Amino acid sequence: MLYAFTNWIESIRGNQKPNCGLELAVRVQTLISLAEISERKSVTCCFDAATRTVHDGFGDEIKPFS
C-alpha cells in the first residue's frame, strides 16, 4: 500500500504516468461490481463491452440496482 501511494505522489510531482492508471482502475472496478451483483443475485454475470450491458449465463439482461 505504501509503494502505491509513494508512486502516485512521485508521479504527480514529476509529471509522469503512475503505475496504475485510469484504464486499469476502470477494468478492476468492473470486475468488483460484477462480483457484487453476482453475489447479491446469486447468478453468473457476464459483461458485454460492446453494448456495456450485463447478462446472466442464459443471456438475459441483468438490470442495475436502483
Q: What is the DSSP letter of 60?
A: P
SS3 for 64?
Answer: coil
Domain boundaries, the chain: 2-55
Give the pLDDT of residue 28.
92
Question: Distance between CA atoms of 34 and 11, rounded to whole angstroms?
Answer: 30
Give the pLDDT of residue 20.
81
Question: Distance between CA atoms of 32 and 12, rounded to whole angstroms?
Answer: 27
Count of residues for the chain? 66
pLDDT at 35 exceeding the cut of 80: yes
For 15-27, write each residue's pLDDT tens digit: 888 888 888 889 9
pTM score: 0.68
